[in-house]
């Protein structure tokens, strides 16, 4: 689990209740960007590790995914 989620949630709650200071707004934006970067990385890792097989068992993984997998292994 991503460690900054609790702080993101605290800032979101405070934003709804009392509002945020300018420094807290900046912190919130930075934390959100970091969170999204982490999630996108996890999704990219998942997609590049997939192997697609047709009903006959032949590898039909798209070339783009195969190329990306090769780049990551280097």
Q: What is the pLDDT of residue 24?
A: 95
Token pair of 36 as six digits:
């999204």
Give residue limits of the domains in the chain: 5-73
Two tokens, residue 28: 């919130």
For the chain, counts of helices (H) and of strands (E): 3, 0
Give the separation between CA 49 and CA 73, rounded to whole angstroms.
Answer: 11
Q: What is the pLDDT along the chain (74 residues), one digit of tens a residue?
A: 577 899 999 999 999 999 999 999 999 999 999 999 999 999 998 988 888 999 999 999 999 888 888 888 77
Q: Which DSSP category does 4 fall into?
A: T
């Amino acid at each position: 689990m991503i460690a900054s989620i609790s702080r993101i949630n605290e800032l979101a709650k405070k934003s709804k209740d009392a509002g945020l200071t300018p420094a807290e707004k900046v912190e919130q934006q930075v934390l959100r960007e970091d969170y999204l970067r982490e999630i996108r990385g996890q999704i990219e890792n998942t997609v590049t590790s997939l192997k697609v097989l047709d009903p006959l068992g032949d590898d039909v993984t798209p070339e783009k995914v195969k190329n990306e997998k090769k780049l990551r292994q280097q």
